[in-house]
Homo-oligomer: A and B are copies of this chain.
Amino acid sequence: MNRGRPGSGPLRTGLIGAGRMGSFHAATLATRLDCTELVAIADVDEERAASLAGDLGVPRVYADAEDLLADGQVEAVVIAAPARAHAALVLGALEAGKAVFCEKPMAVTSEEAEQVVRAARGSRLAVQVGFNRRFAPDFVAAREAAANGELGSVHLLRSLTRDPGLAAPERVPAWTIFLETLIHDFDMLAFLNPGASAVEVFALADALVAPAYKEHGLLDTAMVTVRFSNGALAVAEASFRAVYGYDVRAEVFGSGGMVTAGAPQRGAAVRYSDAGALQETVRADTELFADAYVAELSAFAAAVQGGAAPAVGPADAQAALGIALACVESVRRHAPVRVAGDRAFTGPGAAEGSEVMTLTP
């Protein structure tokens, strides 16, 4: 490790949340990136924060995120706290004049999302949301194919997320599958269907992995169809338990062709035996998206230092949340539900049918 560029220096960053994802980001900020320096860590579990700080040589530790936000040495914050706390922390950071990188979801209610969007717009500070797939080469290539016209008009899309396991089902909040897992897929569908917005959803969800937790509101398997303003039809799928590992894929089909992104296979090594031809599979998000997690923070630092708007910001998070909240309502009403704030839509079902979703979870 060496010091950053003389003159400007690396971006002095504070981390809020020292859990699994926070620790990964911490290592990126402290050791993988030359353009950032991790100067403070806050976690309600102060011991956890201190231990991580010790490992990485981070000088300051806080139990209270407020204190980190008040730290004058901190130029930017990375928020990896529990999802329900994100919006308030982003607002606090903006008030304190810090640029913000916030893990997804940026917010879990439409009111929160609207507040953050307005605050970010008013502040002129950089706010980036952790939709890391936008920084993974496969998905970037798919987006390019959709954006450069080679796919023609987009007709059908698919995005899916299957996690390797469910650590503690009893602690997973209700609607997590839409608000924290499929939120990635909703953003990806928008990313892969440039210029269009989601109009309506129909969502199915069930507790198939851990039926015992269904009475506590846990839904671990979901399938959602989304109709977009350009007529494109999309499906998003999620499961909280794939025995073969971590499976994230997308597909875009249009009048000019198709592009697929992602595969469960890891590497190109193939072992042939009497049993057949075997390839290893990807086992974790931090493995599949190791480079993307670094790339998004690198892009964030570059945006802050260059005074540019981040590539993926509050409005994108708000759009994805709009789909997720409509899904919650769709499950509750067992009916198709229009996405709040969608653009004018004149396709089938436009006149009659689905009401605009209004409630918050």
Contacts and interface: CB of A to CB of B under 8 A. Distances in A.
A145 B271 contact: yes
Given A269-B259, A277-B281, A235 B233 contact: no
Given A260-B270, A347-B206, A253 B225 contact: no
A interface SS class: mixed
Given A137-B269, A277-B281, A30 B57 contact: no
A103 interface: no
Interface in A205-234: 205-206, 208-209, 221-223, 225, 227, 231-234
A157 to B, nearest CB: 9
> Which range holds the interface residue count of chain A?
35 or more
Contacts of A303: none
A275 interface: yes
Contacts of A82: none
A256 to B, nearest CB: 6
Contacts of A223: 156, 225, 233-235
Contacts of A268: 138, 260-263, 265
B336 A202 contact: yes
A30 B56 contact: no
Interface string A270-288: 1111111111110000000
Interface centre among A142, A155, A336 (most CB of B within 10 A): A155
Nearest to A53: B2
A257 B235 contact: no
Q: Which 6 A-B pairs have the closest CB atoms?
A: A31-B34, A2-B30, A263-B268, A257-B273, A244-B272, A223-B233
Given A3-B57, A155-B209, A221-B233, 9 more contacts: A4-B57, A5-B57, A155-B221, A155-B239, A156-B237, A204-B233, A206-B348, A258-B264, A262-B269
